[in-house]
Each structure stands twice: as structure tokens, then as C-alpha cells.
Structure 1
């Protein structure tokens, strides 16, 4: 398939990255570190990079090269975290980190320089030879990488992770010393619900209300009220500084080849969620975004078409590698009653902490998988079998539906 030709007015670069979220920003950074003289353009439709997000991860999610890639970013860090369930609470020793989109944007602007970053630029089309902006300007490139999020897909099945987060500056020290990764001791409200708490400072808290639910409905009034009550229950009062909401797919199955075809543009590499590089059950993206960025930097001198083919192969391997997590997700949504889904995680968090870390990193060993599955199952066996053999619900809802 031929791309459009060049004109004398084209802007030219070696690599054009479309989408300045986590995946695109990390690719640009990895390229700058590995190939400091390579011309790279990072193109983002919004005025800031990274949107309005927070990304968190365990130290063990990344190897030494991944940790080095993230070194320029200002991060919150803690040694250890807590989980709470109706039957028990537990303290775990893992080192945990968190990065905000504001710090992501600031570090990338410092590391890449303004010549490489082009925010507020909406892309109308892209192809193997470059990118066309909404204002008609053309950016010609040897390699084009599409890091924009995918649209709803009838080729994937699953459920939804719906959340609302809030940052509060309390009027007195809140007393929370370590993150609470899951507080599932709360009312479930017809889904697997847990509250996530990060102490960002002596008086600053990030609190997020999260639901694994069958539909993508985000009821802002209901979630805001529940956050209010959670703060009151813990005697946290103060000024709300900001917040975020989101609806993420929890992938339980589907036809990945058809998904790739749906998102394919000839000769254009796909990365991030558009390429399928996510944890299908937790919706984590950071460890996979880091791995992908380093892999692209390693092969950045390949022609664009060859890099695109390499990335598709890499994505298919990732899909095969994460099948175990999709099967667990299928059982979570298909076999457990919505209000009792917490029992699956309640049982999981009794296991060895290194197994838990490998699970979140998408690096579960065969022995880990066996350990997760053996013993008394938290869901009925007959329903689990039915969930694994069923087709599941297509992930075709709009990005956000307000209830």
C-alpha cells in the first residue's frame, strides 16, 4: 500500500510518535537515551502529555534497564503496603512507586526538549510515510508509531474496571503511613469494589473508589458520595485538590488477530493499549509500556514497515503469554456473583508476596499459576467451567457512560 508523497513544505523527522500518553512518552524518552541524535517528534492532541492519570507499580515489575528509564521522573515511593478484606487484613513488604501525569509531562519536557514535543496538535490521518494534522500540515517520517488508545472492539470480550479518584489535603495529619492497595472491607454495591489509598504527604491523600463490574456505567454522583462517606469514616476532612475518573476494559478473551486487523495501518507500528500491551485482568500498563519502549529503542533503525511487523509479532506473543490472566478474568466475571467477587482476591492475597508481585507484572511462573488454582475454589466449579467455555460480553461500550 502506498503512502502519500512528500512535498517541499513537509515537516520531516525520522520517527513520528502519535499520542503523548504513557506509551508514547516512554518510547520518545527511550529513543532519546539510546539514540540522542535521532530526530523524534512526539505529537499529542491535548496541551499536556500524559492526560490526567496516575500510574503505580512495584519495584519488581521492572528490571534494571526499566528502572533506569524511569529515573528522570519524580515519583512517590513507599516501603510496604496494606490490604483489607472482610475476613482479614495483611501487611506486605514490597516497594511501591507512583507517578502522576503532571510529573510525567514535566520530566519529558525537560529530557526531550521543546523541539521534540508537539502538544495541541490533532492528527487527522497517518500512514507508512508520515502524519497529517488537522490543519493540513504534513509531517513526513521514516517510521510512524501509533500510541493512541484503541476504540471499542467487538473482537474482545470481558468486563469493566470503573473508578473515581480524589486528592484531598486534610486539615490535620491523616496518619496513613503506607499505601492501602485494596480495601475491600467496604460495601460491594453489586460489583467487586475496593478503595485504593496513597499517602502523598502528611496532609495529602489520594483515594480512589474502584469497581470490577459488568457494565461501563460510571455514576459520578454515587461514587462521589461513597468517597465522601469513606473519608468521613476515617475522619479525613479538608480541601479537595483534584481528581480523576476512568473506565478501563478487563479483557477475558476474544479474537486478537481480528483486533490487530481492526487497528492496523499498513507499515505503522502500534504500541500501548492500541497494540494490546496491557495486563488483561488488572489493566496495568506501565511495566509493558516500559518493555515496549526499550524494545523499540533497540530496533529503532529498522525501516518503518519492518518495525511494524516486529511489533505485531511482539503483541501476539504478549497475548499468548497473558492467557492465564484472561481465564481468571473470565471466571471472575462469569462464575462469581458480583457482590461476592471479592472472595477471589481475598483468597489470592493470602498467597506468597513474591507470587503476588509476579502476578501484577504479568510474569507468573507455572508454579504460581498452579498455586493460584489449587485448593478450594472461591467460585462454584460448574460455573467456572461454564465461564471458561462461554464467549463473554463484547467490549463495545463507549469510553464513558454517565449513570
Structure 2
């Protein structure tokens, strides 16, 4: 016999986007009966999400603050011939802290983990165990739709949290260490000092393919640690992923691929920074947007979220142009020069770029002068 459960809003996917929506609604609309449904046993999966303080508004910071596990007063980037410190506050959220904070805030009966959704419609969700959720509205936040509708490069990575046999000596994150040997596109190492002897080391590539060789990348993480004189005692966790770096595509086809009339959020809605693939700033904006909606019904949600995501897509053509220059104009082992030039620019410009809020002056400054790629290729990339 089918079990039926009713609610005002069902959020399918307990990752960053879905979790932040549930959290924002719990704070702003506690009377709303919201169900957060996650197929895994924990909320947030196995991730580290990071963001710059300038990515979020003060209002958003109040909501997201309890999720932050680590924070620093700035960060570094390293390239051949360039080492720079930037002073904007840098924050990291771990999936463990994310799961803990959401469970402390959301009523236990409104969080369903270990419950895989096998059918998602505008007003209903069918779970693998036979339960049917009937809702006034549904938001699908389970991850990407059909990425074949988009032309993408990839930011792929393998990260390990290491416990070292001695202190590493880092005071701040290194967001990009591109002084390493280049391979498979633009390669850099990302470092987060979680403690005096705990360090998250991620080997990252701006690559033409999403294919990851875990053994190869894990070996490079170990080799990097050894090259820095950091003896590894053990590895606490490992994370891999491939984020789309979008150059062009059919947004409406992408939206329909996740269910034509189903409201969507996060990666499934195409809400991520086109150059970095990171989705936290958009996830926070989306959560605030939904919490302020007066209509949480299926038609109202779909119309509002489609318009919200389409507006973001339309406004971000400049970033897709930059991606075309990076992937189509620069030789793979020379892509680091594009990023090095970017990091010589004004710090406030860099902050607005990561937050997807570049001004027209910022865009002109980024494109001004001779690009660090062949001119002919650059012009063809700009032309699309």
C-alpha cells in the first residue's frame, strides 16, 4: 500500500542549494510545512564549499554564518613570477558542519535522509521505498541537468584532507598555486589550512574533459606535500568532482532536461559561476529569493525560479566569453598565463568577478590590452 505524506513544499536534494533553501524558509517562514529529501544518509554529501566574504550580503551572512567551519583573514595566489596576498575574508563550509547545523535548526520530522527520489513532478515526489509526497510545490535541487545541452570545459579536482606529522606553517589558504608543473590544461593546487597539522590539498585542472584518474591525482597530491616538506601521517577524507565551465549553450533546453515544468535550484537550474563552476553565492541568493516569495505553489515557483535563473544566464554572457578565450584561444599548457594576468588586477575587481557582479568598467579592464593568448584565436573566441 502506497504511503502518502503531505506538505507545503518538498525540496528534493539535501546538498548546498536545497539545504540553504530549507534553512532560509525555516528562519523566514517557520509556519510553512517544508520537507527536505536527500538520497544519501547525510545532508551535504562529501564536500568542502568555500566563499569570499564579498560573495554574500550581510543579511545572507547571518544565515550562513553557523555553517562556516573555518575562516581566514585573506588568501594567497601563486604563479611563476607572481605571489600575491588578497585581504578579503575567506570561509569554508564542510559537509559535516553543514549536516550538523541543518539538523540543529530544522525539525527532525522535516528532514528525510536515505530516501532516494525516483520520480519528481511539479506537485509530487515518489520515493524508492514507495512513499508518495504530495506538495503544494516541489523544488528539484539534485544536481546538474543534461550538460550535453551546454558547451563546457571542466574544472576537475581531487582533494584530500591530510593530517601531517609536523606543522605545515600556513596561516591562510592558497586558492591557486600554479607554480606546479602544468598538465591536462591549466593545473593548480588549492590549500586550506584546517589546523596547524591538518591541511586540505586539492589538485585541480581546467581541462577539456571531465575524466578523472583518482590514482594519478592522489599521487600528485602526495608528491606536492612531499615537495613542501610536509610528512603525511594519514588522510582523513577524499573528495573528487568535475564542475562545468560553460562556454555557450541552450539554457531553455538545459532547464527542460531537468523536468519541463518542475521548479529547480542550484546546478539543476544552471545557477553557478560560469568560470569557476562554484555555486555557493547563487545558492545563497536563491534561498533568499525563495524565502521572500509570496507564492510557493507549483506554478508560481516554476515561473519565478525559471525567470530568476534565466536572468542570471542572460547577465553572464561575459563570463562565458572569457571561458571561450580560456579554452579555445589559449594552448592548454599556457592557460595559466590568463589567470596570472587576471590576478594582477585590482582586488575589488577580483571580488566582484567571483561574485558574478563585474561592472562594465571591470569587463573593459579584464579585456584591455594585449591578451596573453594568440590574437587571432582570441578574436575568434570573442566572436563565438
TM-score range, shorter chain: over 0.9
Task: Give yes or no for contact 2:145–2:255 (8 Å, CA) kept in 1.
Answer: no
Aligned equivalents of 1:342, 1:310: Cα separation in 2: 39
Aligned equivalents of 1:249, 1:80: Cα separation in 2: 26
Aligned equivalents of 1:154, 1:273: Cα separation in 2: 14
**Paired positions, count:** 383
1:289 to 283, 299, 302: 283
Query: TM-score by structure 2 length?
Result: 0.97
Instruction: Look up the match of 2:381.
Output: 387
Query: TM-score by structure 1 length?
Result: 0.93
Instruction: Look up the match of 1:262.
Output: 257
Task: Give yes or no for contact 1:84–1:90 (8 Å, CA) kept in 2.
Answer: yes
Instruction: Look up the match of 2:137.
Output: 143
1:244 to 215, 231, 239: 239
Q: What SS is found at the alignment partner of 2:154?
A: strand
Q: Deviations over 1:23-46 (max 9, x none)?
A: 000000000000112111000000
CA shift at 1:9, angstroms?
Answer: 4.8
Aligned equivalents of 1:129, 1:96: Cα separation in 2: 39
Q: Deviations over 1:296-355 (max 9, x none)?
A: 011154422111111101111000111111100011000000000000000000001110
Task: Give yes or no for contact 1:30–1:294 (8 Å, CA) kept in 2.
Answer: yes
2:22 to 25, 28, 49: 28
**Alpha carbons of 1:8 and 1:86: their partners in 2 closer, same or farther (altered >3 Å)?**
closer
Is 1:333 aligned with 2:327? yes
CA shift at 1:72, angstroms?
Answer: 2.2
Q: Deviations over 1:213-259 (max 9, x none)?
A: 11111011211111111001111112211111111111110111221
Task: Give yes or no for contact 1:26–1:290 (8 Å, CA) kept in 2.
Answer: yes
Aligned equivalents of 1:317, 1:34: Cα separation in 2: 24
Which runs of 5 or more residues in structure 2 are unaligned? none
Instruction: Please list, as runs of the form range in 1=range in 2, the aligned pairs for 1:2-401 lying within 5 A after superposition.
Output: 9-237=3-231, 238-266=233-261, 268-299=262-293, 301-390=295-384
Task: Give yes or no for contact 2:184–2:205 (8 Å, CA) kept in 1.
Answer: no
Task: Give yes or no for contact 1:127–1:265 (8 Å, CA) kept in 2.
Answer: no
Once superposed, what is the RMSD of the aligned Cα atoms? Answer: 1.4
Q: Deviations over 1:107-129 (max 9, x none)?
A: 00000021110000011112222
Task: Give yes or no for contact 1:83–1:181 (8 Å, CA) kept in 2.
Answer: yes
**Alpha carbons of 1:128 and 1:172: their partners in 2 closer, same or farther (altered >3 Å)?**
same
Q: What SS is found at the alignment partner of 2:65?
A: coil
Comparing 131-140 with 356-365, greater Cα deviation is found at 131-140
Q: What SS is found at the alignment partner of 2:155?
A: strand
CA shift at 1:134, angstroms?
Answer: 1.4
Which runs of 5 or more residues in structure 1 are unaligned? 1-6, 391-403
Task: Give yes or no for contact 2:68–2:91 (8 Å, CA) kept in 1.
Answer: no
**Alpha carbons of 1:246 and 1:386: their partners in 2 closer, same or farther (altered >3 Å)?**
same
